[in-house]
Amino acid sequence: MSVWMRPPKRKREQPSLSREQIVSAAIELLDAEGIDALSMRKLGTRLDVAAASMYTHVAGKDELSELVVDEVYGEVALPEPGPWRTAATTFAHDLRSVFLRHPWIGSLLGEAGVAYLGPNVLKLSEAALALFEDAGFSLDDADLAWNTVMAFVVGRATSEAAWLTTLKRSGQSEQEWKDRLWPAAEQAVRDHPRLKKLYAAQRNQKPGETNDDDFERGLACVLAGLATRLP
């Protein structure tokens, strides 16, 4: 059962421990050690409480995942009223920054169950629907626009976050990894003329700059496509 589908338990036990403390400690643990480190036992050790005592507030790891995901979405600024493309661009960059700040979030999304019913996600969705509706989209098209922007940003940011996690584990910088990988990459695409041309053009680009530029251009394409839905 989702954490959003049951009433919260009464807070009569463990007065020194709260759901908010548990979620905050879980995020700190994930930031420090990654997705594989998350367990009720390790979390209990971090909080200096028995794992069983946390079940007063969180029924288990599945509920904890939903709470953590919603808390991270709470770090994203709500889209503000104004020109919709400007506001959507600002939102997209903010969401990307949050995902890169917590690179494990993409992996946790698959375990988060009914994440879209979390209070922070609901606030974000309501503000985004208002933004697109005010711009002239029908409610159905506003929902489509919102989900399309989310899909693009989450997809791009999750891939970037996975790459950053790989780099962190390797102990290398992006440039060091690229310098080591590039000869093998060029060899692999030698019989694929379009990929060969593309790789040659990217040879001297800095990885971070490439990611930023690709995100900007991709987002611009998404928003331009959405604009065609306006009456």
Write a three-state SS string for the chain: CCHHHCCCCCCCCCCCCCHHHHHHHHHHHHHHHCHHHCCHHHHHHHHCCCHHHHCCCCCCHHHHHHHHHHHHHCCCCCCCCCCHHHHHHHHHHHHHHHHHHCCCHHHHHCCCCCHHHCHHHHHHHHHHHHHHHHCCCCHHHHHHHHHHHHHHHHHHHHHHHHHHHHHHHHCCCHHHHHHHHHHHHHHHCCCCHHHHHHHHHHCCCCHHHHHHHHHHHHHHHHHHHHHCCCC
Average pLDDT, stretch 29-45? 89
How much is the pLDDT for 88?
A: 96
The pLDDT > 90 percentage for the chain reads 49
Average pLDDT, stretch 30-34? 91
Sorting pLDDT into bands at 50, 70 and 90, what band is 207?
low
Alpha-carbon distance 230 to 82, whole Å?
Answer: 16
Average pLDDT, stretch 100-128? 86
Q: Which residues make Cβ contacts (< 8 Å) with residue 118, sequence separation at least 6?
A: 4, 66, 67, 69, 70, 73
Given a cut of 90, is residue 221 above it in pLDDT? yes
Given a cut of 60, is residue 62 above it in pLDDT? yes
- The model's pTM: 0.85
Alpha-carbon distance 60 to 213, whole Å?
Answer: 41
* Polymer length in residues for the chain: 231
Given a cut of 90, is residue 4 above it in pLDDT? no
Sorting pLDDT into bands at 50, 70 and 90, what band is 10?
low
Within a 10 A sphere around the Cβ of 147, how many other Cβ atoms? Answer: 12
How much is the pLDDT for 77?
A: 94
How much is the pLDDT for 7?
A: 65
How much is the pLDDT for 127?
A: 95
